[in-house]
Structure 1
Amino acid sequence: MSIVLHGDAPAYGAAATRRLSRDAVYRAVWRWHFYAGLLCLPFLISLSATGALYLFKDEINGSLFAYRTRVAPQATAPIGPDRLIFNALQAVPDGAPVTYIDPAAPDAAARVTLASGDRRIHVYLNPYTGDVLDRVDRDRELMAVVRGLHSLALVGPLGNAVIEIVAGFAIVLVLTGACLWWPRGRAGGVVTVRGDPRRRVWWRDLHAVTGFVAGGGLLFLALTGLPWSIWWGQELRAWSNAAGLGQPAALWANRPVSTVPLRDRLEDAGWTLQDAPVPRSVPAAAASVGIDDAVAILRHLGMPPGFEVALPVGADGVYAAAIYPRDVTRQRVITLDQYSSRPLVDVRFTDLGPVGRAIQYGIGVHKGEHWGRANQLAMLGFCLATFLLAVTAGTMWWKRRPAGGLGVPPWPADRRVAATVTAIILGLGALFPLTGLAIAAMVGLDLAAGRLRRRWAR
């Protein structure tokens, strides 16, 4: 009997060691999951709420604001853009015309954007009668406010930087959450919810199962939202353009260009072409082509209905037109010489590099613009799941929090495991530098707090 006992001891010791090692990794991952969640929680609630609203931008604009976005179709031909711009100027006498949006459908209004000092004012008009339907500051439109809250652009570059950090931490949340969810030989809390809402285990299981179902969606939303971020997104665009994987630079070759980027002329220049330089017209003795003729030429060139066209600025300015419909294959940007009306640059979706196409498509899915209603409902489901993850996380923390403390999960006793997991998290942060800086700051604060606790304990 004693021989058998001695023979089994090494196996038992090895199993115990493996179990202790797994527990140590679990604790270290749990601590970082807690930190990431602590930072992300309020922002994830805001992002999911505003994102869910923005998915239905067209439906909201077409129902709540139908009085300015919808008109009764008529058998008569619409009024030309020149007359519509003139009527818009009567509504905003101190304004200067900046852009014109062609009606997207027979029952859609036309829109003129006017500059009035630092303000941009949208004037909606009936394209058949020329009547002004409404005027509103661009930044005060409901969907503009929702988008500003979603990106925190309303509070300036700092707010957008915070959202970039949160997006990076959301990726950390998903990856660490997957590690915590991993079954490890158990059945409860993997795909089923145990107990009832009075018990913490019910909230824990609901959180885990929701994360299992929707974690991939949250990861997708974070990755496809990052291209719009203030630092990582701009660097990605600059790199992809320099590598010939984004903006098709060859289309600008041998063209006189300005130092003005397309984003300064168009309200929606698309992600890939935001930094593309606006071409310059060659001044000529002939008079500038009028907006009526320019719009007619753009339609003849195949621009889908609903395109936006920016009016020329200065003697060497151009007509710059763009459209980003739900069908990505119809996305297009055209610039016209204001004198000869000759197309200077004509960019279709297929002209973009592979990175540019992938990101444009990913952004469209992120905004619910592909596959019809199914895309909207899928993204809405991920938004609701994100909201549920935040609520269940907050409830779990509230139920387990100690009196007078945050309830931060303790580090494992094995410092090597803690250091290894932290190094992996820092390595992940290196892919998203603003998030990486935040992670490094958290590591520094954690180490400083630990030293203070040890000093006080002496």
Structure 2
Amino acid sequence: MKQPKPNFYNLAWRWHFYAGLFVAPFMVMLALTGLIYLFKPQLDPLMYGSLMNVPAGHHAVSADDLLKRVKLAYPEGQIKQYLPPPNAERSAQFVVINAGHELNVFIDPYHGDILGEQDAKKNLQALARSIHGELMIGTVGDRLVELAAGWGVVLVVSGVFLWWPRGQYAGVLWPRLNSRGRVLWRDLHAVTGFWGAAFLLVMLLSGMTWTGFWGKQYAEVWNTFPAAMWDNVPKSDVEARSLNSATRQTVPWAMENTPMPMSGDHAEHMAHGTAPAGPAAPTISLQDVQNIAVQRKVEPGYSITLPTTATGVFTIAVFADDPRNDATLHVDQYTGDVLADVRFEQYGTVARATEIGVMLHEGKMFGAFNQIIVLLICLMILLSAVSGVVIWWKRRPQGKFGVPPLRHDLPKWKTGVAIMLALAVIFPLVGASLIVVWVLDRLLLTRLNRQAEPGSVA
């Protein structure tokens, strides 16, 4: 009997299986941690109300007096950052490195009373952000999350091909709720995946802009400013990305690969290694820097990062919910001169689109409406991941892995090869892992399936 001619559907099914098997645990993790961070504006005041909320007063204590109070409370601590109150009913905050721990110290801006502290890296939101970005294991975790996101793109592309309506709309556009067992789970998986594909792609791609490998390469290509912006400013070898961490966002994404300026008359000598480095010794006050932020109409919610070296700068930065209000200012610690003042209008077209995508990703762009949309996307991701695992579990041969069989006489599909090559080029980690999976598939999994399914040709 003549065998049916193989088609691309068969290969797509197989790659969708591999992608889903790897991606599903990560998608569940990303959705759950993302939900926690999504509702940060609502959760933080509820959980840490005694630290964050204060009765509105009439006369605020100056930033310099607040700084003195914190230094008295933490004489051995290093003040890293100051966050003025974003509104009249919120406390001020200092980030202090004390005895090897990074602390968020909250202080009443009207009376100068220290309200308390929290571990900056072990509170709920910081933990959720760290797990979401790098699994709390640094670079290795970042690469794993990036790899999962890249394979997530493979999952979406292959899934859309698999479930695209071909004259059969029930079970794709809407679930057949009168069905039972594997058919119902299959419908739930297909319908949520079909309607959520575009949203999931936006979430995956916008999230990948923050990754340490692909995201950094993407930024170096698209995140550029006119060189003239820095011509008259002494520049260091340190990039603004150094102000960001897995648990704390200081400068916007668009600013991450820009150079940090240098303070002082000897900055040029320092840049060439001919002047000694030393600790910061600013001659302008913290209140002076805050006044600059107010004068330059920086949106409330900004932070002021203090210099740590003799040539360091004060950095005023706001990573605004509406990226059109983004601002990053570097201020000379001796003269108070604003060495750089970069706003959304100076971003490139791709950088603007990326910043908007990031804010949509985090559910901040349109307030509660954006939060609800991202909540629904996260719930769809969870349903799709769980239903996919259930489908696999129900259809797999007893005691076997259940990889979809692939015939040995498959032709070289130009479409399939083109898709895989494109994804391998765009996402190098995916490309490398594709080779690994292909080798494992040829050497191990195909052989296991041939033994498990003697009636099929692997």
TM-score, structure 2 normalization: 0.89
Count of matched residue pairs = 433
Q: Deviations over 1:384-433 (max 9, x none)?
A: 10000001101111111211211111114641157863563243222100
Residue in structure 2 matched with residue 79 of structure 1 by the alignment: 61
Listed as ranges, the matches of 1:125-144 within 5 Å are: 125-144=107-126
- SS of equivalent to 2:320: coil
Separation in structure 1 between the aligned mates of residue 446 and residue 282 of structure 2, nearest angstrom: 76
| 1:30 aligned onto 2:13 | yes
Structure holding more helix per residue? 1
Contact 2:164–2:194, Cα closer than 8 Å, also in 1: no
Q: Which moved more, 1:38-47 or 1:407-416?
A: 407-416
Q: Which residue of 1 aligns with 2:325?
A: 330
How far off is 1:249 after superposition?
A: 3.6
What residue in structure 1 maps to residue 232 of structure 2? Answer: 254
Seen in structure 2, the aligned counterparts of structure 1 residues 361 and 187 have a Cα distance that, compared at 3 Å, is closer
1:274 corresponds to which of 256, 268, 285: 256
Match of 1:311 among 290, 293, 306: 306
Q: CA deviation at 1:327?
A: 2.0
CA distance in 1, matches of 2:449, 2:96: 63
Change in CA separation of 1:59 and 1:455 when aligned onto 2, cut-off 3 Å = closer
Matching of residue 355 in structure 1 with residue 350 in structure 2: yes
Give me the whole-angstrom Cα distance separating, in 2, the residues matched to 1:387 and 1:308: 35
**CA-CA distance at 1:265 after TM superposition:** 4.1
Matched with 2:37 is 54
Q: Does structure 1 conserve the Cα–Cα contact (< 8 Å) formed by 2:51 and 2:91?
A: yes
Give the match's secondary structure for 1:258.
strand
Distance 1:454 1:203 in 2: 24
| Percent identical | 35
- Which of 352, 361, 367 is the aligned partner of 1:366? 361
In 2, the alpha carbon distance for the partners of 1:451 and 1:379 equals: 39
Contact 2:303 2:317 (8 Å CA) reproduced: yes
- Judged with a 3 Å threshold, the aligned counterparts in structure 2 of structure 1 residues 303 and 450 are, in CA distance, closer, same or farther, namely closer
Instruction: Tell me if structure 1 keeps the 8 A contact 2:23–2:148.
Output: yes
Distance change >3 Å, CA 248–CA 269, structure 1 → 2: farther
Where does the alignment leave 5 or more consecutive residues of structure 1 unmatched?
1-15
What CA distance in whole angstroms lies between the structure 1 residues aligned with 2:387 and 2:210?
29
Q: Which residue of 2 aligns with 1:101?
A: 83
Q: Kindly indicate whether the alpha-carbon contact (under 8 Å) linking 1:79 and 1:129 is maintained by their aligned counterparts in 2.
A: yes
- 2:215 corresponds, among 233, 248, 260, to 233
Taking the aligned partners of 2:445 and 2:95, their CA distance within structure 1 comes to 57
Residue 252 of structure 1 deviates from its aligned partner by: 1.4
Give the corresponding residue for 2:97. 115
Indicate conservation of the 8 Å contact 1:24/1:413, yes or no. Answer: no
Aligned partner of residue 255 in structure 2, secondary structure:
coil
Matched, 1:381 2:376: yes
Indicate the SS of the match to 1:272.
helix
Whether the 8 Å CA contact 1:430–1:436 is kept in 2: the answer is yes
Following the alignment from structure 2 to structure 1, what is the Cα–Cα distance between the partners of residues 51 and 167? 60
Pairwise mapping of residues 67-216 of structure 1 onto structure 2 (< 5 A)?
67-75=50-58, 77-116=59-98, 118-194=100-176, 196=178, 198-216=180-198
Gaps of 5+ in 2: 267-280
Q: 1:119 to 1:275 in 2, by over 3 A?
A: farther
Measured against aligned partners, the alpha-carbon deviations of 1:79-118 in whole angstroms (never above 9, x if no partner) come to 1111212222233332111110111000111111112354
SS in 2 for 1:136: strand
Aligned-partner Cα distance in 2 for 1:124–1:163 = 33
The more displaced of 107-116 and 406-415 is: 406-415
Deviations 1:196-236 (A, max 9, x none): 56421111111111111111111110010111111000011
The residue that corresponds to 2:49 in the other structure is: 66
Indicate if the aligned counterparts of 1:247 and 1:273 stay in contact, CA closer than 8 A: no
CA distance in 2, matches of 1:51, 1:402: 35
1:312/1:453 CA distance change after superposition, 3 Å: closer
Q: What is the Cα deviation at residue 262 of structure 1? A: 2.0
Q: Against the structure 1 CA distance between its residues 395 and 428, is the aligned structure 2 distance closer, same or farther, given a 3 Å change threshold?
A: same
CA distance in 2, matches of 1:420, 1:261: 41
Alpha-carbon offset, residue 63 of structure 1: 1.4
The verdict on how the C-alpha distance between 1:135 and 1:231 changes in structure 2, with shifts beyond 3 A counting, is same
CA distance in 2, matches of 1:119, 1:401: 49
Q: Provide the secondary structure at the position in 2 that maps to 1:31.
A: helix
Amino acid paired to 1:54: Y
TM norm structure 1 = 0.89
Q: Distance in 1 between matches of 2:446 and 2:389?
A: 28
Distance in 2 (alpha carbons) for counterparts of 1:293 and 1:253: 26
Q: Secondary structure of the equivalent of 1:139?
A: coil
**Residues of 1 paired with 2:376 and 2:54: CA distance?**
33
1:421 aligns with 2:416: yes
CA distance in 1: counterparts of 2:264 and 2:134, whole angstroms: 40
C-alpha contact 1:24 1:412 (8 A) present in aligned 2: no
Secondary structure of the 1:436 match is: helix
The alignment yields a C-alpha RMSD, in angstroms, of: 2.3
Residue 368 of structure 1 aligns to a residue whose secondary structure is coil
Q: Contact 1:283–1:316 at 8 Å: present in 2 too?
A: no
Asked if 1:449 is matched to 2:431, the reply is no
Give the secondary structure class of the aligned counterpart of 2:220: helix
The CA deviation at 1:160 is 0.7
